[in-house]
Amino acid sequence: MQFAKFVVTRVIAYVLVIWIGISVVFFVPRFMPSDPVESMLGRIMSSGAYMAADQVEAMRATLTQAFGLEGTLPEQYFGFLHRTFLTRDFGPSLSMFPTPVNELIGRALPWTLSLLLCSTIISWILGNAIGLLAGYKSRWISSRTLEVIAIFVYPIPYYITALILIILFIHINPIFPLFFSVRGEPFSAQFISSAIYNSVLPALSIVIVGFGWWVLSMKALSLSISEEDYVYFAKLKGAGEGRIMTAYVLRNAILPQVTVLALQIGAIFNGALITEILFSYPGLGTMTYNAVLQADYNLLMGTITISIIAVATSTLIIDLLYPLFDPRIRQK
């Protein structure tokens, strides 16, 4: 029962996250001081495109539809929710007409997901391993040094790390390419190797920052868990250091770290968006940015909606995996 209740709560939260996120996206343009359709039109025209009067009218209609501005407010709102939860059809891209937005997002999403998945997993595992050592062996000099490094790395935002990496490894030492360019047929050896080569720096900047956080939080956790009664009793049992560190301290300290990972996905995603833009990495972030620059409103709504859904889904997945680690939720 406990477990069923847990799942139901999570799923409700999941739907709520998407609903609230989408509602904010829906209401923001409506509370803007300027009419989004007119300002978008002005922007398209000022970018130098010539349009005849009927074309302007057609564009206005397209934009009105894209913004979901047809009909009364409730109609608009339910149309919007319908599109988000059921059809997920965002229409054609305006800048790459007539390619459907869904197709463009379909191309970008795997890049973002693989970048985030790899870098988050690497930094989570690495940071927790080092944080565990730093907390459990807090008297070691290397533990303290690592902690100081983590203190200096953690508060630095992703894009600053990204900029420093760009300055160091693209401009001062040109080890990595200035522009993101993947060569070869999809999934050929050349494709994969050049994709990895191009992704090293963006991934590194996400790994570095996350790493600092995981080290610091894991250190604090394992330090306090080392003082729990069951760790003391494990020593009285005669368990070895390694065994205490893994079976007792790690097994318990990892639980809050899984929860925090779920809560951090949104923040990590925010960071990854900007990192992608700075490295012109071909994922959702860069696509969102291009959509803004080219006033491609359909694409923008699509990427933002998918971003919210992707973050909510990753959070839900981690939340649902949590009982694998914590028997207190699994069994009651």
Partner 1 sequence: MRGLNSRLKIGLVILAVFICLGGILPFFSTEDPRDWIRHPRNLPPSAEHLLGTTNLGQDTFWLLSYATQNSLFIGLFVAFFATLIGVFAGLAAGFLGGIPDRVITLLADVFIVVPVLPILILMSSLLQGRASLLLISIILIFFNWPWPARQMRSIALSMRERQFVNTARFSGSGTFTILAEEIVPHIFSWAMANFVNTVLVAIATESGLAVIGLSSLEEATLGTMIYWALQHQALLGQRWWWIGSPVVAIIVLFIGLFLISTGISSLSAERRGHGDA
Partner 2 sequence: MLRLRNLKCYYDTPRGVVQAVDGVSFEIRPNEVLGIAGESGCGKSTLLKVLYDYIQPPLQIVSGSYEADFPDDNGKVNTIGPGEIREHWWDFISYIPQGSMSVLNPVIRIENQFFDAVPKSHSLKGKREIRERVAAYLKELELPVEVLKSYPHQLSGGMKQRVLVALGTFLHPQIVLADEPTTALDVVVQKGILLMLTALQRQMENTLVVVSHDMGVHYQITNRLAIMYAGKLVEYGPTEAIFNNPLHPYTQMLIQALPRVGDQTQRMGISGRPPNLIEPPAGCRFAARCPKVMEHCAHQEPALTQIEPDHYVSCHLYQGQAS
331 binds, among partner 1, partner 2, none (CB under 5 to 8 A by kind): partner 2
- Which of 277, 281, 282, 302 binds partner 1 (CB under 8 A)? It is 277
- Which of 7, 266, 280, 323 binds partner 1 (CB under 8 A)? It is 266
195 or 295: whose CB is closer to partner 1?
295
Burial of 236 per CB tally in 10 Å (0-12, 13-18, 19+): exposed
Q: What tokens does 208 get? A: 């570095």
25 binds partner 1 (CB under 8 A): yes
128 or 315: whose CB is closer to partner 1?
315
Tokens 């923040």 belong to 267
Minimum Å gap between C-beta 295 and partner 1 is: 8
What H or E segment, with its residue span, contains residue 66?
A: helix 53-66
Do 305 and 23 form a contact (C-beta atoms < 8 A)?
Answer: no
Question: If binding means CB under 8 A, how many residues of this protein chain bind partner 1?
Answer: 56
Minimum Å gap between C-beta 272 and partner 1 is: 10
Give φ, ψ of 72 to 5 degrees.
-75, 170
Tokens 């709520």 belong to 16
- Which of 105, 203, 215, 311 binds partner 1 (CB under 8 A)? It is 311
323 binds partner 1 (CB under 8 A): no
45 binds partner 1 (CB under 8 A): no
32 binds, among partner 1, partner 2, none (CB under 5 to 8 A by kind): partner 1
Comparing C-alpha atoms, which of 138, 159, 251, 278 is closest to residue 208?
Answer: 159
Question: Any bridge partners for residue 100, and if so which?
Answer: 92
78 or 232: whose CB is closer to partner 2?
232
Segment 209-248, which members bind partner 1 (CB under 8 A)?
none
Please state, in angstroms and rounded to a whole number, the distance separating the CA atoms of residues 104 and 111: 12
122 or 234: whose CB is closer to partner 2?
234
Please state, in angstroms and rounded to a whole number, the distance separating the CA atoms of residues 251 and 329: 15
103 or 241: whose CB is closer to partner 2?
241
- Give me the residues that bind partner 2 (CB under 8 A), please: 228-230, 232-239, 243, 247-248, 251-252, 255, 325-328, 331-332
Comparing C-alpha atoms, which of 305, 248, 291, 236 is closest to residue 44?
Answer: 291
Q: Rounded to whole angstroms, what are the CA distances from 233 to 7, 239, 248, 328? A: 34, 9, 10, 20
Give φ, ψ of 50 to 5 degrees.
-90, 135
Note the residues at the interface with partner 1 (CB under 8 A): 12-13, 16-17, 20-21, 24-25, 28-29, 32-34, 36, 39-40, 43, 151-152, 154-160, 163-164, 166-167, 171, 263, 265-267, 269-271, 273-274, 277-278, 288-289, 291-292, 295, 300-301, 303-304, 307-308, 311-312, 315
